């Protein structure tokens, strides 16, 4: 593993930093913001400096092909190598610059580039890059999360259409999305990893109902989506019928290192350490020493998370495919996120349980604690990651 920049990588990193220093809107420098928040403002018909800044930011990134940096240039990307994209993502995370494109860029776009028809590429890729179309992912179901291949949503062929019935859950951003890429079972008699087809579904199609799921932090990001006799044209099938499982696992996402997570965790630790130093005189010595030791542990752990990220990108740079290594990085980063949130709450004492602007950090510590709970579930549970590490990394037999 080599975490040092080559001269070429150092020059590229300098270019990205210079770009961020001159082009990142001031509205985003003052306050961290996510693309989802801005999309929600814009979709709600609101305007203002932040929404205007978001559109300027999108335009300047699109001009450079940086919205979908790893896509081929022919499809509006920058054709970056894995290492170049790693540097770009790392510097964006350091600057807290909002990424743009969401699941359309990270998952659907690469799948269409690899498996879609030319008509599908022409119809959908441009809209993703221009920000005209938002996508959500219809994978998980009430009884099929970690064991996704057991999904039961049915799609039955009827002439030139498929008719879909079933339910999806934990559908991120469905209430903001125009289209959904989803998996549905088209052959119920086939083994569970077969008989599944990959569909593109217009969310305005009659028969689709989106119902919000508000999490315990009071945020509405997830949804459950119901399909009742939803007709999907045959032309919206991606790849072969009954072979959708293999497309569903094709994201071609070059960023599997969790570098953004480790950078964000380090920045959070730095903010709490600065607060701790400023308020040390007001704390009981025993309280200070207790949290000081815990923050030292968190600092060491975040350095470990960073090295795990470098391990993944080093393998990609060498032409290898990180499998267990990517699971190790994801597992460690997600569980570290929970430890950082717990330590922050403990550091603030009674204020740590208060969700109010009167609290330190505007009550964000308590919100982060609540939001950290699903981190070890989303993107593959910790249990699933450990199974992958055991079987594919250590060669242990399946249970």
Do 384 and 323 meet the contact criterion of CB atoms below 8 Å apart? no
Do 378 and 327 meet the contact criterion of CB atoms below 8 Å apart? no
Residues 6+ apart with CB under 8 A from 137: 103, 107, 171, 172, 180, 181, 182
Question: What share of the chain in percent tops pLDDT 90?
Answer: 61
Average pLDDT over the chain, rounded to whole? 89
Do 183 and 151 meet the contact criterion of CB atoms below 8 Å apart? yes
3-state helix, strand, coil in the chain (%, to 5): 55, 15, 30
135-248 CATH pick, 2.40.30.10, 2.40.110.10, 3.30.70.520, 3.20.20.70: 2.40.110.10
The confidence band for 30, taking pLDDT boundaries of 50, 70 and 90, is low
338-368 per-position pLDDT tens digit? 999 999 999 998 899 998 888 999 899 999 9
Residues 6+ apart with CB under 8 A from 284: none
**Termini Cα distance of the chain:** 32
Rounded-to-integer distance, Cα 333 and Cα 41, Å: 30
Rounded-to-integer distance, Cα 321 and Cα 249, Å: 14
Do 309 and 258 meet the contact criterion of CB atoms below 8 Å apart? yes
Please tell me what DSSP assigns to residue 178. S
Do 162 and 237 meet the contact criterion of CB atoms below 8 Å apart? yes
The confidence band for 102, taking pLDDT boundaries of 50, 70 and 90, is confident
Tokens for 266, please give them: 């380090």
Q: What is the pLDDT of residue 167?
A: 98
Mean pLDDT of 136-154: 92
The confidence band for 141, taking pLDDT boundaries of 50, 70 and 90, is very high
The lowest-confidence range among 214-228, 244-258, 293-307, 326-340 is 244-258
Q: Is the pLDDT of residue 257 over 90?
A: no
181-191 per-position pLDDT tens digit? 999 999 999 99
Helix axes 259-278, 285-317, angle to 10 degrees: 160
CATH architecture classification, 259-393: Up-down Bundle (1.20)
Q: Is the pLDDT of residue 254 over 60?
A: no
Q: What is the pLDDT of residue 255?
A: 52
- Whether 135-248 and 259-393 share one fold: the answer is no
The lowest-confidence range among 5-9, 30-34, 210-214, 255-259 is 30-34
Tokens for 11, please give them: 């020059």
Instruction: Spot the catalytic one: 27, 91, 141, 255.
Output: 255
159-175 per-position pLDDT tens digit? 999 999 999 999 999 99
Mean pLDDT of 306-323: 88
Active site residue 255: yes
The confidence band for 290, taking pLDDT boundaries of 50, 70 and 90, is confident
Q: Is the pLDDT of residue 252 over 50?
A: no
Do 149 and 193 meet the contact criterion of CB atoms below 8 Å apart? yes
108-131 per-position pLDDT tens digit? 999 999 999 999 999 999 999 988
The confidence band for 152, taking pLDDT boundaries of 50, 70 and 90, is very high
Do 236 and 200 meet the contact criterion of CB atoms below 8 Å apart? yes
Tell me, which fold does domain 7-100 have in CATH?
Butyryl-Coa Dehydrogenase, subunit A; domain 1 (1.10.540)
Question: What residue segments make up the domains of the chain, in order of their start?
Answer: 7-100, 135-248, 259-393
Rounded-to-integer distance, Cα 388 and Cα 226, Å: 31
Do 88 and 13 meet the contact criterion of CB atoms below 8 Å apart? no
């Amino acid at each position: 593993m080599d975490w040092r920049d080559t001269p070429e990588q150092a020059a590229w990193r300098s270019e990205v930093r210079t770009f961020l220093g001159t082009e990142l809107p001031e509205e985003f420098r003052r306050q961290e913001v996510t693309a989802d928040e801005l999309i929600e403002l814009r979709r709600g018909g609101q305007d203002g400096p932040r929404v205007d800044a978001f559109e300027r930011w999108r335009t300047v990134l699109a001009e450079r092909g940086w919205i979908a940096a790893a896509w081929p240039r022919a499809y509006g990307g920058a054709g970056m190598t894995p290492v170049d994209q790693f540097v770009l993502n790392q510097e964006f995370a350091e600057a807290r610059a909002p990424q743009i494109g969401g699941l359309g860029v990270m998952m659907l776009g690469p799948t269409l580039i690899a498996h879609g028809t030319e008509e599908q590429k022409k119809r959908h890729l441009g809209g993703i890059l221009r920000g005209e179309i938002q996508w959500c992912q219809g994978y998980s179901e009430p009884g099929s999360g970690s064991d996704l291949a057991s999904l039961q949503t049915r799609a039955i062929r009827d002439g030139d259409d498929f008719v879909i019935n079933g339910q999806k859950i934990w559908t991120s951003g469905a209430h903001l999305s125009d289209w959904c890429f989803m998996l549905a079972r088209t052959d119920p008699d086939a083994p569970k990893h077969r008989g599944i087809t990959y569909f593109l579904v217009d969310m305005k199609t009659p028969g689709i109902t989106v119902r919000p799921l508000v999490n315990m932090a009071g945020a509405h990001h997830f949804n459950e989506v119901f399909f009742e006799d939803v007709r999907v044209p045959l032309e919206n099938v991606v790849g072969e019928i009954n072979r959708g499982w293999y497309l569903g696992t094709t994201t071609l996402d070059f960023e599997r290192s969790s570098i953004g997570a480790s950078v964000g965790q380090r920045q959070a630790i730095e903010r709490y350490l600065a607060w701790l130093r400023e308020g040390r005189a007001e704390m009981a010595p025993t309280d200070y020493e207790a949290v000081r030791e815990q923050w030292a542990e968190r600092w060491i752990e975040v350095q470990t998370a960073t090295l795990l990220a470098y391990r993944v990108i080093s393998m990609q740079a060498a032409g290898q495919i990180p499998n267990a290594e990517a699971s190790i990085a994801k597992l460690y980063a997600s569980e570290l996120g929970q430890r950082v949130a717990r330590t922050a709450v403990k550091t603030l004492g009674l204020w740590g349980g208060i969700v109010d602007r009167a609290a330190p950090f505007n009550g964000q510590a308590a919100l982060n604690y609540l939001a950290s709970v699903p981190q070890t579930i989303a993107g593959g549970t910790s249990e699933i990651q450990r199974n992958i590490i055991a079987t594919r990394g250590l060669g242990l037999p399946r249970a």
